[in-house]
Structures are given as structure tokens and as C-alpha cells.
Chain A
Amino acid sequence: MFTMTKPESSSVESTDRRRHRRPWLSHVVLILCCIATVAPLLWVLRTAVSTPASVFDAGFNPFPTDPTWQNFPSAFSLAPIGRWFLNSAGIALAITIGKLCLTILAAYGFAFFHFPAKNLILSLAVGTMIVPNIVTLVPNFVTIADLGWVNTPQGVIVPSLAFCGFGIFLLRQAMLQIPAELLRAAEVDGAGAWTVLWKVVLPITKPAVAVIAIMYFVWAWNSYLWPLTVLTDNETRTLPIGLQFMASDLEGSQLWGELMATTLLTIVPPVLLYIAAQRAIISTFARSGLHG
């Protein structure tokens, strides 16, 4: 039985609604959930540093019996992993920088300027968050094919730049919190729209911009369906796509050490960014669900 209140508590105690009747039970359940959450990661780690023999012979043992780095060079010799890593980094950086610029300009425009049909245009922009992938996939591939962009980085990057709805929504909210006195002071000093953005708005909204930049990078790094569709040539693939083809090639030979070593490399960038900014990221998302 899970519980968070203590109905029979005295009036003094009862102001503390965060009272547990059986806290240990909650902890047991939560710890089990946390173990289930990190278990796949532990297994990636454990297999990535296991020798081919100990990958299979260890029974159920979450810790490597005799750790080795040999899977990493071995994986690099099996597939162009360095190349895929660079493709991923280049594409993710280009998408992040492009989307960030577009998001900052648009959020600034929506927050501080008046123009016809502004509310309609704003809901169109934010509404892109719920447009199903299933509709955009084929028509966008047709467009990319017309432009001759199949198998090119720009084929992945340019359509991805359109998905700024989430960032515009968040950053506009942050910008609306800026006290008007600051903006008026800048105006009085004769600052133009551009100067106000650089000197007043961006410095104040830096935390929101940082979270949006990190999420844009993580999404671009993790993205799967669109790069899978556009990048058909092994040399042009991003890391997640290359890794998946590597997995289907190697599944027959059961080279799990090499596969998990590559998996580990692929998840390192998002995990590092998460560690660096987890509080800001979590609170941003937690707030985004509050009002539906």
C-alpha cells in the first residue's frame, strides 16, 4: 500500500501533508524502478568492456569479470564509426545553431512586436509540436529528392530546422517575464530592435536559451526516422543509423562487445549534457506538462 498522508494525525502534524506511513515501502518500489531504468545502461557498460568469451559465459553478473578496452578498437575496425561520429556531430551542431537562431528571432518577434494575425501565426508555430511525423515523412522526402539532397547533410538539416515550436513556446514565455522598465530604458537610450535583443533580452533569458540549445542538440543527435530515410549511403550515415545497420550486420556473428562499445559512444554526448544541466532540463519539462 502506498501512502502519503496520515489521516489520523493531530492538527499540528497534519499541516505536514508530506507524511509517510510506510516510507520504506515507497523507497523499495522507487529504488526498484530506478534499477530497472538504469539496468540497460549498466548492461551496455558491462558488455562494452567484456572480452568476447566473458560476454556470454558470465551468467547473470552485472559486473565485468575481466575488463578490457579491446572492443573499442575492434568496433572501429568493423565500421566507419569515426566518420559516423563526425557526421552526427556536424549535423547536430548545424541543426542546433540554425534552430536556435530561428527560435530566438521568432520568440523575440512574438514577444515584443505587433503585426497582423499575430495570434494565428503564433498558434501555427506552436502547433507544429503535434503534427504527426507520419504526414511529413513522404512529402518531405519527395521535396528532398527534387532538390537532389538525398544522402547529403543538408537533406537532413534543412527540414529539421522547421521544428522549432517547442523552443519558440518556451522562449517567448521567458521573454514576456522581462520587466518593461528595462526595455524602455534601452529605448530611451536610442537602442534599435537589434541592440535591445543583444544587450537586454538575450542576457536576461540566457538560462532558457541554454536549456533550449541543449534540448535541440540532444534531439538532433538522437534523431532516427528522418536521417534513416535521407541517408542511405554508409559513409553519410549518422551514428545512430550506422549503429543500427552495424547491429543488423553483426547480429548473426553475435559481436555484442563491439556493438555495446559503439552504443556507449553514441549515448555519451547526450548523457554528458544531461549531467551538466539536468536540474534546468527537468524543471523545464516538468513545467511544460503542468497546464496541458
Chain B
Amino acid sequence: MTASAFIRQRHRRSTATGLALVAPVIALMVVFIYWPFAHSVGLSFTEGDFQTQTFVGVDNYIALMRDSDFWQSLITTAKYIAVLVPLVVAVPFVLALMVLPLRKRHTKAAYRTILFLPTILPFAVMAIAWLWIFNPLGGPLNSLLEVVGLEPRRWLDSPTTAFWCIIAVSAWKLIGFNTILYAAALESVPAEYIEAARLDGAGRWHLARHLYVQLISPTILFVVVTATIFVTEDVFDAINVLTAGGPYGTTENILYYMYEKAMVFFEIGPASAVATIATVVIVAITWLQLHMARRHVHYD
């Protein structure tokens, strides 16, 4: 008998206790996570500072539509998604396929331990380490290039390279974590499936493309969704430390744009309008991913 069968027997007298147990955290979640949804939409129709706001209707939305910086941050966010998501979905898959057949458990564990490391390091703080790596004067990257005989560059000051620096730092953060997720999923694939496919004459590539992708499709979907959320949200830390959105706004994502509006210019109404639009876009993208996945993802 399991715990769930146990609770069915004793539920008559536990209603009040159960509610009392979950009430504190639910209250906090309502106040600091769910209520802000409504609050944010409300604030987006106002003008003012943190203390007082006056109602201005849809003015903030109209102003945003005319703001080229807003559009640029949306386009930059789309570029982040277009470049980073495929990168951190595909590369870890290949790496996981390499980890999978390793025979020595200790070797496997060693790779796993190292690859997971960026997940637990403070991203904003490691961005300061990257600031040094990209430093034009004596930074490790330029020193390395000099040794190889290439020209040093001002990586974070150039509109052509700054975007790719943010991509590189984000890839550094995500690739190892996703590799471990994939490796765990691949290990859970029953050996008989692989065997059956092999007896049918499936080659290595065929196996990887059809069988593995299909069998671990829930994990791939999970990685796609979390990577998309990462580039709209968490990449903020790297942007704020490395480029502050520059040069010329080429690295500014939607969250950074909103943060500047709210915390630098104290434009609460417009910032809330950005948040509302961004939430609709994020939810729409996630919904689209889940919807498209329905045809391709197989849970068993």
C-alpha cells in the first residue's frame, strides 16, 4: 500500500490541517507571483513613479509601438532565440551521445561533474570573469590570439562581436546542464529498443536521428522551453555585466529594455506595458512550442 492509498482512508478529518499546511506558501505566492500579473497589467495603463500613478489609458502601448528601441530589443530577443536555442539544444545532444557509451563509470562521473559546474556558479559573477577574458588589454582571449598571431579585438565594444560574446557566455552556462539532462534521458532508453532497431538494420545516424530523438523527445521539449525562457530572462545578468545592452543596443533583450525603463528612468507605466507585451509573447512562444511538440513528442 502506498502513501496515496493511505491518505484516501484518513481524509475526513484532515481538511483543516491540510489547508493550514499549504496556506503560508500559497499566500506568499499569491502576493508576490500571481497578484503581480494583474498589478502589472493595471500599472501598464498608468503614468507616474513608484508612489503615485494616474490612469492614462493605452498611451503607454501607443508610445511603445512608436519606440524604435523597443522594436530593436524585441528583434534582438528574437535573434538570441534563433541562435542560442538551436545551439544549446543540438550540441548537448551530440555530447550526450558521446557520454552514453563510455564504459568506465568514473570517467562518466568526472565528465558529468565538470559539465554541470556552470549551473551552480553565480552567472552574474562569472560574467565578471568573462569581462576579464574579453578585456582588450591583456585579457586572456586577446593574449591567446596574439600567441597564435591574430589581431586582438575590442570584443564587447564592437556591434559585430558583442552579440556573439553574450551567445558564447550563455552557451558556456547551458551546454553542460543540457548534456546531463540528455544523458540521463538516453540512459533511461531501454536497451531492447536499441537492439530491435539495430536488428532491423538501422545505422548509427539513423538510430540517433529517429530512435533517440523520438524516445527522449520530452527532454528535448523541456530543453527548448527552458532555453527560450533563458534568453528572454536570465541572460539579463550577462548583458548587464558585459555590455549594459550596448554597443548601440545590439545586445539588449526585452527584459533589459524593461529594466532600464523601470529602474533607470523610473517610467513605471511604460515598463509595465513592456512586461505585459513580453509576457504575452513568452506565453505565445511557449504555447506554440508545446503545440508543435504535441505531434512530435511521445510520452509513454
Interface residues of A (CB under 8 A from B): 2-5, 7, 14-15, 17-20, 23, 26, 29-30, 33-34, 36-38, 40-41, 43-44, 47, 55-60, 102-103, 105-106, 108-116, 118, 121, 124-125, 128, 130-143, 145, 158-159, 161-165, 168, 175-181, 183-184, 187, 193, 218, 221-222, 224-225, 228-229, 239-240, 243-244, 247, 251, 254, 256, 259-260, 263, 266-267, 270-271, 273-274, 278-279, 281-283, 285-287, 289-292
Contact = CB atoms under 8 A, between A and B. Distances in A.
A25 B254 CA distance: 40
A248 B102 CA distance: 45
19 contacts: A18-B101, A20-B102, A33-B95, A37-B115, A40-B126, A44-B129, A109-B19, A114-B11, A132-B278, A132-B279, A135-B36, A135-B37, A138-B40, A142-B39, A222-B121, A229-B263, A247-B128, A267-B121, A271-B120
A286 B183 contact: yes
B52 to A, nearest CB: 11
Contacts of B22: 105-106, 109-110, 115, 121, 125
Contacts of B113: 278, 282
A7 B170 CA distance: 37
Given A2-B97, A179-B2, A263-B128, A130 B229 contact: yes
B56 interface: no
Interface string B188-214: 100100110010011110010000000
B221 interface: yes
Q: How large is the interface on B (under 10, 10 to 19, 20 to 34, 35 or more residues)?
A: 35 or more
B180 A60 contact: no
B185 interface: yes
Given A179-B3, A260-B132, A267-B126, A218 B120 contact: yes
B43 interface: yes
Nearest to A3: B204
A137 B50 CA distance: 12
B103 A18 contact: yes
Interface string B256-300: 001100110000100110111011001000100000000001010
Given A17-B194, A222-B121, A128 B15 contact: no
Contacts of A271: 120-121
A161 B262 CA distance: 23
Interface stretch (B58-66, B78-86, B133-141): B133-141
B55 interface: no
Interface of B: 1-8, 10-11, 14-22, 24-26, 28-29, 31-37, 39-40, 43, 50-51, 94-95, 97-103, 109, 111-126, 128-133, 135, 137-138, 140, 143-144, 146-147, 172, 175-177, 180-181, 183-185, 188, 191, 194-195, 198, 201-204, 207, 218-219, 221-223, 229, 232-233, 236-237, 240-241, 254-255, 258-259, 262-263, 268, 271-272, 274-276, 278-279, 282, 286, 297, 299
B188 A59 contact: no
B185 A289 contact: yes
A263 to B, nearest CB: 5
A136 B33 contact: yes
A278 B2 contact: no
Given A135-B37, A289-B184, A292-B219, A115 B18 contact: yes
Interface of B is mostly: helix
A34 B183 CA distance: 16
A118 to B, nearest CB: 7
B237 to A, nearest CB: 5
A184 B271 CA distance: 54
Nearest to B272: A138
Given A33-B115, A286-B184, A135 B279 contact: yes
Nearest to A164: B25
A43 B21 contact: no
Contacts of A256: 132, 135
A248 to B, nearest CB: 9
Given A125-B26, A145-B50, A244-B124, A163 B1 contact: no
Contact of B207 (A5, A138, A145): A5
